[in-house]
Structure 1
């Protein structure tokens, strides 16, 4: 695999160009970005830096990518990193600080001349500051170990960006300029500057079990397709990509008895999660429970089949574990999922339902073991990846995965995946002789490490999707469901409500901007809808009336009184306005949700075809104040058999999707 430059020195040659010179590679070709023309080239080998060029004050740890906004194209560079640990001896870093450099010399990234550009740059910065962006210069963190092993010969001599898993190459859209140049112009191969980054989690722990020191790793990779936030990214798209799709890999290395520093055995176990793979949405209306919308579109079966077939081609057999409730609010989604899985009729797919809330009621969360026991045959059949340093070929392949989902693929899913991973680790350690009859639970060191790793992993995935840490992590962390944990979940749920209704629209816009789901056109006037509020005056006025009424009530309670009699009428007036304003806002809830503006979910909100809608709340007294428009006019709302190496290569590489 071709190396990637780890440190770069940046030089600015007045307003003419940016020059990136590898700090530790003598004679390497520098990358030059011409600011006026936008051309990107490699300097001839051993070329000198112009004497007029000034060195940038910070060390550059990689180029995150380039993005074009309405006034200029911008370079995003990594100027701060932290070491998150070593994966099989290779350092894994998290990007923690970024600088944004405009190509147009007349544009300032810190003080843009137009409010539209200011807004778009704020979206970029918020996305960069809130993400878990992980990378390695010498190890492909986008692919699980088994996939890397299968492709080890075909990967030889290729750059990392070319062999990376397209789904998890988070900054691929931002790297598209450099990739296109590298493909089209062999004399300007910029592969050493193209750094694939994942958006996910990584943790590494050293634990002692029966006198042996093991290395535990937990890494998750979030798909860049249909990426977004909790209520604004649900179900699948027409290409079969599922929202909130994550691949989670638990890796364990067992050292050699002769040399504790050498990994004699490497064990890997992969699970996946993703939204229910049909067309559905939850429509925010300011009520705690949004409207559940299930859309029976003409191509739903095809999209579901496409999604399941891709998972089978990549991972092998699929065990679909559905944790959605079988009654009440979630029941229609469960039934629709089952109906379309049956219609898709994909071989090697096995559906299994588990009534999580009923089985684990009264805080009996230990009963998740019922689910694990029911999956035991599938888990034994699918196996795990097992490499032994003394044997050339793998001792065991993982021939299938468990795909788990609940409503959000967060809280219930985390509990289930952690339990399945723990069961499998028991199986693995017994197979290599580390454990005998006892299990992981009986060894405090590894038991604690597993609980902490899976709890932190759950929190980070939840923050990315729902805006808060995960619920139910007290069970994952301690093995018990506690009253304090339930109280903490109540607080998180309240915070989720606020964020999902009033702040996630901008977060969704940031996802759409950074992954290329929405591409700005040149000229700020093309995106004025981002900074204007075209709702009718009455809709805009009511929140101010509510705020002013609350202020007047507070003033009446605190200011000196001249007559208690007159205050009765005073408070009656302002309390009446508070009540009427609140009722109005709740009735017209759709119009007060902070919807995404770049790619509004208009189709889901105003869907009137076949399907199911739990209720059409928040739409007013029959008045069409909230009628949504599409495109740029949507200014204020949404719119157990071992197979041969050849067979394994077909699973891992046969239908790998490359979407540029």
Structure 2
């Protein structure tokens, strides 16, 4: 496989060009990007750098790609990295710092000439600095071991970007310009670095005289990417929200061999699981209430897109065991019923459904009840198996996969996936004779501790990426026990999630949509002024100010000298009434105070009134908003965070927009 340059020196030739020169590679081609035209080409080896060019003050550890905003194109580069570990003898890094370099010489990223451009640059920066991005220069971390092994012959002469799994090649959209410029005559592959959004952890264990490593990798799909409440369900291409492929690797040393290098392991085992949002059209609409309004949309193509999604998973992984963990009562019940109804109508081969009411079965901290689910899945797990290489020869192949979901595919899903992984790990260790048939992972404290911490860290990172806080129930994953301290920590995390999901996730979602290419700006920032302006009515915008001022006056009244209890009582009655009225207004019109995405606002979801189910219609005022909507009509949109007057979005569609 073609390697990628591990570090580059950047030379900036004034307003003319950016030139990237590989370090430590004598005779290697350098890469030049013309700032005026955007042309990309390779220089001849040992090309002299113009005397007017100045070296950039940071080392470049990889070109993330080029993104086009409203006034200029920008090159995003990785300027910081940390080593996360070695996998199969290859370094795996996390990108820790990024710089954004404008092609237009008249643009400054520090002080852009237009507020829309400044806003878009901030979205790009916050996205790359806020995620957990991983890469390797010599190993394709986007693909599971089994897929790599079966494609090794045809991949031998390819570059990593050519072999990368398109779902997990996070910066694929931003690398389009470099990929298109790469031809047989000028191969840019050494400069094209695939980046994965996910987790990576590898730990060494010495047990019963045997040395081995456990590695956990999670790969997040770039399709239908986003935050907890702004990306739910499925899209028209069959992609679901919060889709993650999780691979657990067991790498075990064998006896010394002349044909193996010290970095090679005699036995390699891989067990893969997936998670993803329930594959139908559904959403939870934020209204500032703790429980959002649940909405299920029975659209005409629901069965088609669900079939498309599940058939793709069967083609990729083999038979599917669909484990559904949501509640059979209360708020989540309609989602369960709709999911089961659609699956019954589809009746797909190689797709098996298994329901487990997690909260009911495990209530009162009876976490041992998860064993009930494991027993139900025992036959499926044995049949699906895991991938097993012994001295580079396949002994077993994983022929199916467990797809787990809850409402968010976070907390309950984390617990179940960790339990399944522990069961398979124990089976693998028994197969290799490292532990006895009667023993399990928890019988060895060192092994158990490394396993628990690895899965708990993995759960926290996935949860932060989607939900905005660390995972709930992580105390069980870390300690094998559910504790009162863990319940208290979960309460704090739940409050943090509520605040982030309602007040801060709009810009985060915009970052996802911009970087993955779901939304592409036009070259005219004046057409996108709605991104930085607040079109809400004055009375709506003023209510939080009124509430803050009333609260201030109440607090001030508590500190004033009391000349008359009678007058002070009237004082408090007036300001408490003002505060109450402002808070009631904010609650009644809660949708106007949610931080909505502005690039692709979910207006078609908020205003949907076609067939399906909606738990409530909160946040739109006492009598609802004065707009009548019919399914299929176009509607004016309004509100903070992109729901602006004058926009029009067709109901029941999810389309790429350009502004």
**Could you say whether these structures have the same fold, taking a TM-score greater than 0.5 normalized by the shorter chain as the test?**
yes
**Rounded Cα–Cα distance in structure 2 between residues aligned with 1:127 and 1:524:** 20
TM-score (norm 1): 0.94
Compared CA separation, residues 13 and 361, structure 1 to 2 (3 A): same
Question: Which residue is equivalent to 2:234?
Answer: 236
Q: Deviations over 1:508-530 (max 9, x none)?
A: 01100010000111121021001
Contact 1:155 1:163 in 2 (8 A): yes
Question: Which residue is equivalent to 1:215?
Answer: 213
Gapped runs of 5+ residues in structure 2? Answer: 644-659
Aligned-pair Cα RMSD in Å: 1.6
Question: Which residue is equivalent to 1:121?
Answer: 121
- Counterpart mapping for 1:579-658 below 5 A: 579-624=580-625, 636-637=640-641
**Rounded Cα–Cα distance in structure 2 between residues aligned with 1:450 and 1:519:** 42
Q: Deviations over 1:77-136 (max 9, x none)?
A: 000000011112111000000111000000001111111111111111111111010000
**Rounded Cα–Cα distance in structure 1 between residues aligned with 2:336 and 2:470:** 25
- Which among 156, 180, 190 is matched to residue 192 of structure 1? 190
Contact 2:535 2:638 in 1 (8 A): no
Compared CA separation, residues 30 and 632, structure 1 to 2 (3 A): farther
- Counterpart mapping for 1:320-469 below 5 A: 320-389=322-391, 393-436=393-436, 437-469=438-470
Q: Deviations over 1:407-457 (max 9, x none)?
A: 000000000000000000011111111111211110111100110000000
The range that moved more, 137-146 or 596-605, is 596-605
Contact 1:599 1:631 in 2 (8 A): no
Contact 2:475 2:481 in 1 (8 A): yes
Compared CA separation, residues 601 and 630, structure 1 to 2 (3 A): farther
Compared CA separation, residues 595 and 578, structure 1 to 2 (3 A): same
**Rounded Cα–Cα distance in structure 2 between residues aligned with 1:597 and 1:318:** 37
SS in 1 for 2:585: helix
Contact 2:592 2:639 in 1 (8 A): no
The range that moved more, 276-285 or 51-60, is 51-60
Q: Deviations over 1:281-335 (max 9, x none)?
A: 0000111000000000000000000000000000001000000101111000001
Question: Which residue is equivalent to 2:548?
Answer: 547
CA apart distance, 1:631:
10
CA apart distance, 1:393:
3.0
**Rounded Cα–Cα distance in structure 1 between residues aligned with 2:565 and 2:27:** 86
Question: Which residue is equivalent to 1:154?
Answer: 154
**Rounded Cα–Cα distance in structure 1 between residues aligned with 2:626 and 2:269:** 58
Aligned residue pairs, count: 635
Question: Which residue is equivalent to 1:650?
Answer: none
CA apart distance, 1:25:
1.3
**Rounded Cα–Cα distance in structure 2 between residues aligned with 1:560 and 1:89:** 74
CA apart distance, 1:156:
1.5
Contact 1:590 1:626 in 2 (8 A): no
Question: Which residue is equivalent to 2:492?
Answer: 491
Contact 2:88 2:263 in 1 (8 A): no
Question: Which residue is equivalent to 1:643?
Answer: none
Question: Which residue is equivalent to 2:76?
Answer: 76
Question: Which residue is equivalent to 2:318?
Answer: 316
Question: Which residue is equivalent to 2:656?
Answer: none
- Counterpart mapping for 1:456-605 below 5 A: 456-605=457-606
CA apart distance, 1:560:
3.5
Question: Which residue is equivalent to 1:246?
Answer: 244
Q: Deviations over 1:548-596 (max 9, x none)?
A: 1011111111233433321111110000011111111111111111111
Compared CA separation, residues 503 and 397, structure 1 to 2 (3 A): same
TM-score (norm 2): 0.94
CA apart distance, 1:491:
0.6
Q: Deviations over 1:164-184 (max 9, x none)?
A: 0000000000101001111xx
Q: Deviations over 1:352-382 (max 9, x none)?
A: 0001011100011121111111111000000
Contact 1:213 1:255 in 2 (8 A): yes
Gapped runs of 5+ residues in structure 1? Answer: 640-660
**Rounded Cα–Cα distance in structure 2 between residues aligned with 1:570 and 1:633:** 40
**Rounded Cα–Cα distance in structure 2 between residues aligned with 1:557 and 1:129:** 44
Contact 1:2 1:158 in 2 (8 A): yes
CA apart distance, 1:261:
6.1
